[in-house]
Structure 1
Amino acid sequence: MEEKKNYSGQLSLRLTPELHERIANEADKENRSINNLVAYLLEKSLDDQLIARPTSSFEQRQFVGRTINGRSITPENGLVVVDGIYYRYLIDGNHPVEMDKAYVIIEANGNILTLRAL
């Protein structure tokens, strides 16, 4: 198991005098040090970004890791049918489709599924 490091990192920033003054005034209003305020704002910003990111798609949640039969793939039109829905597909390694093989869905990106032969 990897050991966690118990030290604080350091970061040097170059700020315009105006931005430094704004941060100092805000820190003073909140009765915080400049360092504490900047660390808090950075952490909050990163947390907010994680919350705002779109959740995984239906296909990522439902199809990735699932096995399908090679007969579900129609190379003539470049489509694969999964649960009655047609998707475009890519074969991992760009190999030709083999109807007698099983495939696992390894990635879903929009309406394109990436398949890998088993």
Structure 2
Amino acid sequence: METKMTTIRFPEDLYQRLKQVAAKKHLSINQMVVESVQQAVDETAVSNSTMESRLILNEVVPPAKIFADSGLVLVNGIYYRYLTSDNQPIQPEIPYLVVEAVGNILTIKPIQK
């Protein structure tokens, strides 16, 4: 995929909040901005999204809340089935990020530090 570089100016307080949220989610500021813009311009995301998926997308799931034996993950107090984005087994020592929600199945991807 080809990418383009651009400059975006943020008010200082917004930039600091963005920086904090990105750090909390183990993402770069660039990843946060790209994902947010992609969601904003993707018409199908708006028409097909549910309140539940909006509440759990981009949630960080700690290793203790991923139950590989049963194929379940606990997010915001609710158990979901999961798939990994790379179709690899769960790495028990690292957190995962919820990248997609379809019905009661979440797609999670490992967060690389």
Give the TM-score, by structure 1 length: 0.51
Indicate whether 1:79 and 2:72 are aligned.
Answer: yes
Q: Indicate the percent of aligned positions where both proteins have the same amino acid.
A: 37
Question: Aligned to 1:67, which of 60, 69, 80?
Answer: 60
Question: Aligned to 2:106, which of 96, 100, 113?
Answer: 113
Return 5+ residue gaps in structure 1 as ranges. 1-49
Give the TM-score, by structure 2 length: 0.54
CA contact (8 A) 1:69 1:99 kept: no
SS in structure 2 at match of 1:94 = coil
Q: How many residues align?
A: 67
Aligned to 1:94: 87
Aligned counterparts of 1:59 and 1:69: Cα–Cα separation in 2: 19
Aligned counterparts of 1:100 and 1:69: Cα–Cα separation in 2: 9
Shift of 1:59: 2.8
Aligned to 1:3: none
Shift of 1:55: 5.6
Residues 79-111 of structure 1: CA deviation (Å, up to 9, x unaligned): 001111100000011111112101110000000
Return 5+ residue gaps in structure 2 as ranges. 1-42
Aligned to 2:24: none
SS in structure 1 at match of 2:54 = helix
Aligned counterparts of 1:93 and 1:63: Cα–Cα separation in 2: 19
